[in-house]
A and B are shown apart, each in its own frame.
Chain A
């Protein structure tokens, strides 16, 4: 990741390479003072006279340098903490829980308070899911006809993965 400066910004800093290092050092000092206590027009005027440039040039130079300093320190902060920042960001983005396991059980309801002598088959399912390291389970039920329908639908999904179209995509996009 590089620092990007605007054209205007680059212009403001353009004159710095043309002066000697002592001057640049002085500018650096003024820039830090600027950060600490804000602008001081008297100092700009003084510097402008000494360098034989306009005070606008000096002001732009100081501001440009200040901006460069703050952007650099932001980048330094990011680089130092990159791993942690990326982890936090990935946790903030909503993610789907993922499949872990499925347990099932066959049940037959023989009677209820409202109706005696029944034969009502049901399939009870415990779905184990993982999300962000958390394990949670959902207990669900379905009837035999829907179970067959579920198997049929999901087998279609598996079949779809074997088609040329899907194979081509998986092969060519890495």
Chain B
């Protein structure tokens, strides 16, 4: 995991009870997770009365540091001991390390889902609809959504057969 000096400095400030009391620490930590995982989150995430007394520059710096670290940890699937080691190096006390790890554990799944969904992929099929038509004569066709095609009964059997082969293969692969 590669972390910059800026992140380290931010965490060192977070470790200091004179800059962040217990309550402020917890609030900032939650705000960092919220910013990453809540789609509706915005700058207002730091607008809490119990954070007002802190210098906004410091607040933003620490919030960014926490968010950056959380993403790196998520990307590399960091375990508790990796997290503890880093936080100890930043001079976190035992209590804050526990708090951080608990909060991380609670949000781990959502974080991994978010990170796993980033990337390019092929167009992904989500559903299929079908219609049986006995064609007597040609009429104007209405507009069709996305990919549509027609097939005869034999062709449909061929298509379904091939998709079933694929799903059987999938089943066997999961039993290896």
Contacts and interface: CB of A to CB of B under 8 A. Distances in A.
Given A115-B74, A153-B128, 16 more contacts: A95-B141, A98-B150, A98-B155, A102-B158, A114-B115, A116-B75, A116-B77, A123-B170, A127-B149, A138-B123, A140-B125, A143-B124, A149-B128, A150-B125, A157-B132, A169-B134
Task: Give the interface SS of chain A, mostly helix, strand, loop or mixed.
Answer: mixed
A119 to B, nearest CB: 10
B159 A140 contact: no
Interface string B9-44: 000000000000000000000000000000000000
B50 interface: no
B130 A154 contact: yes
B119 A161 contact: no
A142 B75 contact: no
A150 B149 contact: no
B130 A147 contact: no
Contacts of A147: 163, 166-167, 170
A104 B165 contact: yes
A97 B167 CA distance: 25
Q: How large is the interface on B (under 10, 10 to 19, 20 to 34, 35 or more residues)?
A: 35 or more
Given A114-B118, A115-B115, A96 B149 contact: yes
A17 interface: no
Interface residues of A, number: 53
A151 B160 CA distance: 6
Contacts, number: 138
Contacts of B162: 102-104
A170 B166 CA distance: 32
Interface string A121-153: 111110101000000001111111011111101
Contacts of B75: 114-116
Contact of B140 (A93, A117, A146, A156): A93
Contacts of A96: 141, 144, 148-150
B56 to A, nearest CB: 30
A145 to B, nearest CB: 10
Nearest to A138: B147
Most buried by B among A101, A154, A160: A154
A158 B160 contact: yes
A154 B134 CA distance: 17
Nearest to B76: A116
A118 interface: yes
B26 to A, nearest CB: 27
B163 A141 contact: no
Nearest to A153: B128
